[in-house]
Structure formats: C-alpha cells, structure tokens
C-alpha cells in the first residue's frame, strides 16, 4: 500500500473520479497549471486537459454560480474555494442556490457539487484564511459537511463526496495536509458520508471530535492512559449530518463525554453534539458533557494562534474534570 | 460629473435600437426581422394574452387566491419578444417577474399559479422544458447562466442560456461576475437586463454613473446592445442575433431593454405613487408595446377587433381553468417537503419525517 500525505490522497481521489466519470470537472482559482496554491490539483490539468481541470476568474461567487449552473446541466463540479474564509463571497451560491436546488425544483433538479476548501489554524496565515466556519455550513439545510483527519479517510470521503448527488462541503485542515503520511490504497474505495469512525477505543470517557483536533485528542488520550483513564476518541468525519448512533453507543458505554473542536464555542458542531447527547442519553451520563473549544473571538492574528487554539493539555484537563465530577 | 472622452465615446456607442416607433411605423426597414404574417399575429396574440393574464392575476391576488405576484404590464414586448427568439432546447433562467417567458417556453399556467402560491409543484419543471425556477435572489441567476451556458456548450446542444434581471440587478456583484465569466469562457449566454427604470423605488439614475447598462458589456469584453423594450420587433431581432452569435462561438451578449412596469413592484404592498409621478407613467404609457404593434398590424390588415376579442376570451377562459386546476393541487404537507431536501434522508430528517407523519395523520 502506498504511503501518502493527506493532500496526496485528496489529489488521488480527484484523479480517480476524473478518470471514472467524464462529467466530473475540477475548477477554481489557480487549480490549473499551478496545481492549486497547496498543490491539491497537482498534475491533474496535464493529465485530463484544460477542458476538465481549469482556472476560473478570481471571483468566488462566480465560481459557485458556475458550479450550480453546470450541475443542472448534468455535470459534477468539484469547485475549490482557495481558502474557506472566502466562502462568504459565495455563500449565496452554496446556501441559497445549490443547497436548495432539489427542494426548489420539487425534486426535479439536483446539484451534485463538491465544494473543496482548505481551512483550520496552526499555520500562521493572514486573516480569513484559517477560520473554522463549518458551523455556518452545518446550519444550512441541503448540504453535507465533511472533514477528514487522515490520508486514508480523505481519499474515501472525497470520492463519496464527488459521487453524492447533493452538494457536499469538503473541508481540508491545512495543518494536516503534509504533517504525516498514512497508508492509502491505490485502488478506489469509498467511506460513507454521515458515518463517524472510532479512532481509539476506551471505556472511561468519550471524546467526540473532528479535523485536526482528532490528533490533539488522540495525544490527550495517550496522556490520560498513563493515568489509567481509557478515552474513546470518535472522529465525526461528517459533521453534518451527525452520526448520532456511534456517539450515543459510545456515551452509553462510557457514561462520560467531552466534545473537542477547533472552532469557537458559541453555536457550532460541539454545541449540537452536546444537545443530541442530552436529548438521547442523559440518563446514561455520570457528568455533564463539556466542551473544549476556542474562545468566541474571531480567529486570531497569527502571533496569538498557538495560545488561542485548543491544545492536548486543554483536552486532558477537561477530560479529568468530567472524570472527577 | 464631467465625463472623460473615453467614457463619452463609449456611451455614444449605445444608442437605443428600434424598429417600430411609438406610432407603429417601421423606422428601421433593413433591420426588420423575417417573420411570417402568422408569426407577427402570434406575437400580438401573446402580448394581448399576457396583458389580460396580468390583469386577472392582480385581481386574483387581491382576492387572496394567487399568492406572490410581480406585475408585468408594460414589459410584454421585452419579455415575449426575447422569448420568441428562442428554440425549445434553449434554457431560461428567469427572475421572479419573468413568468410569461417560461410559460411560453413550456410550463403551464397552472404551474405558474402554483409557483405563485408557494407550492412545491410550482418548481417541478416538466421533462424537456429547459427552465430554472424563478430566482428570488437578485442576480444569482446571472452567474448560474454562465454555468448552464458552459454546460450546453460542452454538450454541443446547439442551445443557448438566457437570463433576465432588472436595472437593479445590474448593480449586483453577481451581474459583473456572471457576464465576465461568460465572456472569459466564451459561452453561448444571453443576459437580458429589463430596465424598467425602478428597482422597487430606486430610480435607475441612482444605480450607476453609467449612462446605459448595455455599456457595461464593454468592461467584460462582450457584445452589448440597448434596445427599445416597448418594441417587440426590435427585442426579437436583437435576441435572435444574440442567439446566433452565441451558437456561432462568438460569445455572450448583454441586452438592455428600455421598458417600464405600469404596476407596482409586487402585489405585496408596494405603492408606486410614492416614487413615480403620474407624468412619467403617462409618458411611458404612450410608448405602450401593444398599442404600437396593434397599429402596425392593423396597417397590414393582420389584426382586427375580432382577433383581439378572441385572444381576450381565450386568456380569460384559460386562466379560469388553470386556477381551478391549481385549486385541486394536493394540500402541501411538511412530509413532502422533508422528502425533497436530499436524495437520501439523513438521520435527523428521517426522525423528523416520522414525527411529522404522526402529526399529519391526526
């Protein structure tokens, strides 16, 4: 099996789908000759031609409109938003257009668009490059929101996203692009959307998380294990819709849970997970479900990033609070 | 503002194109489109029909029997002349006022009424009718038109995509992005800006320093034309030319139709007397598209009072039938709406589906 970084796995998934289906088109700012600013589309234009993998004018709303229009004429666009902080420019195209295409047409049209975009902190970008805006998307009926944390997951989830017949927002944490390699089969495979993955089994506490915080949480779980606390780490992989079954099964086993997200605390995914646990498993709980998140400021200037982002130590502390409740 | 020579030169290039003047006289013989007598009569018939439909729709709205409605009287030539230049395989991306075009492109009056009423069947475009659901967000359809036109070009469908917005729509970022994308990719798209002079209440003079909307095509590097939107022959001719340009691989066209809506912005409480003078209304009613075209046809012995009455009666009857059919549409249920959110229901909607099935069975 090949060893790949997450970004290589992402490129591999797009290559697979460009080969697999002629209606798949990959486009965005700098995705052509340049292969994307992170090289996610490296080599794809050369391999599949300018007709299938192409640059767009620098206008995110236009890119979204182009994708929506192509989708109703039977194409399967994979559009890139260069950094997810730029999504505001194309929020209408995603939330008010693609996400409503099936509904607005009473089921006649659909928008099988994949919206790929790098996001997430820890890489010292300028403003609005690193923000965790998945909560905004998760509150948009009609779109799914997928966030992989490993190269293996990245490939299987992206292939599923591209094949999905409704719009999928696929967010790629920048810090994970090249931070490690993992085994990725060269042949195609899919990972179902809407399913979580138990990344570590444990009996004492459930840590529900996603994206880069999966790795932070796994590190915290190792620390906790040194003190005899066995944490189960659930990687949501799809943050909308949530895999309630996996979360609840785990909480019913461990009776304790925390939710870890890189995004700010207010509203968002973690709040939603807590609410679902309360509604479905409150009698299994030995302690309140607590959250580890960033504070409710805008994503910080680069020099304050390290202290703003949740660390594994924060996770360990919060886990102990719940264990010792 | 004093304009530079460059701007003055550009603006002087965009004089309004006209074939039929207010008196119903042909003023531009060489531009006269090749239309048979039957086709000319059909154009008149459609305008009369639409005028009656508009009157009936306003009345139905006042009785609480229609729902959302944006009046069209005054804009018939702009709407119907451009649609008449299309072929069945072409795509229309309408705004919420552009219902006559999509009815003549193949959706039924009944469906148009259901759309007005906010019924899911209103958006269910029939197989083979290449029409998008009327857009509510001003300008969103313009960027999508670039995408649809690109899709058509890739499929070699011998088809174009046409979209409609108003003078206010031409101020949106999506307008500039849409026409720019269409130009950059050289796709067969037609962008019609129906300049009816008011975006709800804001006059077109306050939208832009540009003298015309048509000249905005220059910045995008695409063809642009300003046309008399009360002259159905001129609107037809420029749209037909735009269609041929697109299919020949010569890129998109921006068409500004100079028109006027006699009625309010929508029937939801807009009062045009707050922002328009009756003098201005009178001035535009003198340009009426039906009056001048009727004169023209009468001069050719192609139109009579009998013809007119026949269309009026037909329209009234069709509307009565259509509203009756619309009344028979199934009552809208939340479960129907849950069902059309996704291809497959995610767990949360599955649960909510059960919840609403239970509620609706009571």
For chain A, the farthest-separated pair of C-alpha atoms sits apart, in whole angstroms, at: 60
pLDDT of residue A92: 98
Same domain, B83 and B147: yes
Contacts of A259 (CB under 8 A, 6+ apart): A207, A208, A209, A269, A270, A273, A274, A289, A290, A291, A292
Same domain, B196 and B343: no
Given CB atoms, is B174 within the 8 Å cutoff of chain A? Answer: yes
- Would you state the structure tokens that stand for residue A140, as one six-digit string? 């948009």
Same domain, B31 and B166: yes
Given CB atoms, is B156 within the 8 Å cutoff of chain A? Answer: no
Shortest Cα–Cα distance, B156 to chain A (Å):
12
Mean pLDDT score, B165-194:
98
Domain count, chain B: 2
Residue of chain A nearest B120, judged by CA positions: A106
Same domain, B286 and B352: no
Given CB atoms, is B32 within the 8 Å cutoff of chain A? Answer: no
Given CB atoms, is B306 within the 8 Å cutoff of chain A? Answer: no
Same domain, B243 and B324: yes
Shortest Cα–Cα distance, B150 to chain A (Å):
7
Q: In this complex, do A102 and B341 lie within 8 Å of one another by their Cβ atoms?
A: yes
Given CB atoms, is B333 within the 8 Å cutoff of chain A? Answer: no
Residues of chain B with C-beta less than 8 angstroms from the C-beta of A72: 132, 144, 147-148, 151
pLDDT tens per residue, range A37-77:
999 999 999 999 999 999 999 999 999 999 999 999 999 99
Shortest Cα–Cα distance, B135 to chain A (Å):
9
| pLDDT above 90 for A320 | yes
Same domain, B327 and B339: no
pLDDT of residue A1: 84
Helices (H), B105-231: 109-117, 140-154, 173-184, 216-220
Same domain, B299 and B342: no
Residues of chain B with C-beta less than 8 angstroms from the C-beta of A106: 120-124, 340
The interface predicted TM-score (ipTM) is 0.96
pLDDT tens per residue, range A246-272:
999 999 999 999 999 999 999 999 999
Same domain, B337 and B307: no
pLDDT of residue A290: 98
pLDDT of residue B157: 79
Task: Please tell me which of the candidates B143, B155, B347 has its beta carbon nearest to residue A64.
Answer: B143
Binned at pLDDT 50, 70 and 90, residue B1 comes out as confident
Angle at B231 between CA B60 and CA B142, to 5 degrees: 70
- The answer to whether the Cα torsion of B59, B62, B68, B71 is positive or negative is positive
Same domain, B190 and B139: yes
Residues of chain A with C-beta less than 8 angstroms from the C-beta of B121: 106
Given CB atoms, is B347 within the 8 Å cutoff of chain A? Answer: yes
Q: In this complex, do A66 and B181 lie within 8 Å of one another by their Cβ atoms?
A: yes
Same domain, B349 and B202: no
Torsion-angle region of B301 (φ positive above 0: left; ψ -120 to 50: alpha; else: beta) = left
Same domain, B345 and B263: no
Given CB atoms, is B145 within the 8 Å cutoff of chain A? Answer: yes
Residues of chain A with C-beta less than 8 angstroms from the C-beta of B187: none
Say how far apart CA A120 and CA B356 lie, in whole Å. 38
Query: Which H/E stretch holds residue B189?
Result: strand B189-195
Domain housing B351: 332-362
Same domain, B256 and B354: no
Residue of chain A nearest B172, judged by CA positions: A61
- Edge to edge, what strands does the sheet with B253-258 contain? B91-93, B161-166, B189-195, B253-258, B223-228
User: What pTM was estimated for this model as a whole?
Assistant: 0.97
Q: In this complex, do A59 and B177 lie within 8 Å of one another by their Cβ atoms?
A: yes
- The answer to whether the Cα torsion of A99, A104, A107, A110 is positive or negative is negative
Q: In this complex, do A103 and B343 lie within 8 Å of one another by their Cβ atoms?
A: no
pLDDT tens per residue, range B320-360:
999 999 999 999 999 999 999 999 999 999 999 999 999 99
pLDDT of residue B156: 84
Closest CA to B189 of B220, B154, B146: B146
Q: In this complex, do B151 and A72 lie within 8 Å of one another by their Cβ atoms?
A: yes
Q: Which residues of A are catalytic?
A: 129
Half-sphere exposure of A104 (CA within 13 A, CB side): 20
Query: Which H/E stretch holds residue B336?
Result: helix B334-339
pLDDT of residue A313: 98
Q: Report the CATH number at residue B62.
A: 3.40.50.970
Query: Which H/E stretch holds residue A11?
Result: helix A6-20
Mean pLDDT score, B63-88:
97
Residue of chain B nearest A96, judged by CA positions: B137
Shortest Cα–Cα distance, A65 to chain B (Å):
4
Mean pLDDT score, A192-221:
98
Q: In this complex, do B122 and A67 lie within 8 Å of one another by their Cβ atoms?
A: no
CA distances, B271 to each of B196, B201, B265 (Å): 16, 9, 8
Given CB atoms, is B342 within the 8 Å cutoff of chain A? Answer: yes
Shortest Cα–Cα distance, A313 to chain B (Å):
34
Q: In this complex, do A92 and B137 lie within 8 Å of one another by their Cβ atoms?
A: yes
Q: In this complex, do B121 and A106 lie within 8 Å of one another by their Cβ atoms?
A: yes
pLDDT tens per residue, range A226-240:
999 999 999 999 999
Q: In this complex, do A141 and B341 lie within 8 Å of one another by their Cβ atoms?
A: yes
| pLDDT above 90 for B218 | yes
């Amino acid at each position: 099996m090949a060893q790949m970084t997450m970004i290589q796995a992402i490129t591999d998934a797009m290559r697979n789908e460009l080969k697999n289906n002629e209606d798949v088109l990959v486009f965005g700012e700098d995705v052509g000759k340049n292969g994307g600013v992170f090289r996610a589309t490296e080599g794809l234009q050369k391999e599949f031609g300018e007709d299938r993998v192409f640059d767009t004018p620098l206008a995110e709303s236009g890119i979204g409109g182009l994708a929506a229009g192509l989708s109703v004429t039977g194409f399967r666009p994979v559009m890139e938003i260069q950094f997810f902080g730029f999504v505001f420019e194309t929020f209408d195209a995603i939330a008010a257009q693609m996400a409503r295409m099936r509904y607005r047409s009473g089921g006649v049209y659909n928008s099988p668009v994949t919206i790929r975009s790098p996001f997430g902190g820890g890489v010292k970008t300028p403003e609005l490059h690193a923000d965790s805006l998945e909560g905004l998307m998760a509150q948009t009926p009609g779109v799914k929101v997928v966030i992989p944390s490993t190269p293996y997951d990245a490939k299987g989830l992206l292939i599923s996203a591209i094949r999905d017949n409704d719009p999928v927002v696929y967010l790629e944490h920048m810090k994970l692009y090249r931070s490690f390699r993992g085994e990725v089969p060269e042949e195609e495979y899919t990972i179902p959307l809407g399913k979580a993955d138990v990344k570590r089994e444990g009996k004492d506490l459930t840590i529900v998380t996603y994206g880069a915080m999966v790795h932070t949480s796994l590190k915290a779980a190792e620390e906790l294990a040194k003190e005899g606390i066995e944490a189960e780490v659930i990687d949501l992989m799809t943050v909308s819709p949530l895999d309630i079954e996996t979360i609840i099964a785990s909480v019913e086993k461990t009776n304790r849970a925390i939710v870890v997200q890189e995004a700010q605390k207010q509203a968002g995914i973690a709040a939603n997970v807590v609410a679902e646990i309360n509604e479905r498993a409150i009698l299994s709980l030995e302690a309140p479900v607590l959250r580890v998140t960033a504070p409710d400021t805008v994503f910080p200037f680069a020099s304050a990033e390290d202290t703003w982002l949740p660390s594994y130590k924060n996770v360990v502390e919060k886990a102990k609070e719940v264990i010792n409740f | 503002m004093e304009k530079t020579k460059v701007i003055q030169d550009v603006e002087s290039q965009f004089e309004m194109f006209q074939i039929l003047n207010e008196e119903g006289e042909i003023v531009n013989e060489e531009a006269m489109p090749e239309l048979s007598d039957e086709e000319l009569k059909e154009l008149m018939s459609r305008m009369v029909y639409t005028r009656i439909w508009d009157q009936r729709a306003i009345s139905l709205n006042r009785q609480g029997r229609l729902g959302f409605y944006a009046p069209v009287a005054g804009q018939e030539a702009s709407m119907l002349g451009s649609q008449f230049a299309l072929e069945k395989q072409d795509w229309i991306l309408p705004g919420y006022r552009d219902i006559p075009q999509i009815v003549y492109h193949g959706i039924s009056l009944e469906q148009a009424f259901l759309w007005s009423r906010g019924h899911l069947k209103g958006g269910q475009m029939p197989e083979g009718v290449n029409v998008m659901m009327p857009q509510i967000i001003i300008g969103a359809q313009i960027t999508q038109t670039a995408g649809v036109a690109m899709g058509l070009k890739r499929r070699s469908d011998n088809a174009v995509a046409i979209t409609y917005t108003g003078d206010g729509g031409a101020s949106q970022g999506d307008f500039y992005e849409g026409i720019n994308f269409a130009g950059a990719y050289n796709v067969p798209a037609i962008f019609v800006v129906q300049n009816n002079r008011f975006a709800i209440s804001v006059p077109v003079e306050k939208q832009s320093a540009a003298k015309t909307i048509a000249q905005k095509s220059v910045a995008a590097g695409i063809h642009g034309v300003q046309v008399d939107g009360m002259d159905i022959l001129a609107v037809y001719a420029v749209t037909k030319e735009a269609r041929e340009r697109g299919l020949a691989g010569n890129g998109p066209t921006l068409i500004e139709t100079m028109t006027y809506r006699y009625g309010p912005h929508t029937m939801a409480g807009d009062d045009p007397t707050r922002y328009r003078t009756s003098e201005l209304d009178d001035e535009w009613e003198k340009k009426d598209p039906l009056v001048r075209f009727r004169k023209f046809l009468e001069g050719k012995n192609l139109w009579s009072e009998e013809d007119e009455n026949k269309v009026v009666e037909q329209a009234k009857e069709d509307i009565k039938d259509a509203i009756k059919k619309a009344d028979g549409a199934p009552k809208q249920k939340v479960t129907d709406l849950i069902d059309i959110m996704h291809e497959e229901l995610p767990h949360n909607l599955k649960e909510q589906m059960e919840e609403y099935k239970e509620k609706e069975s009571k």
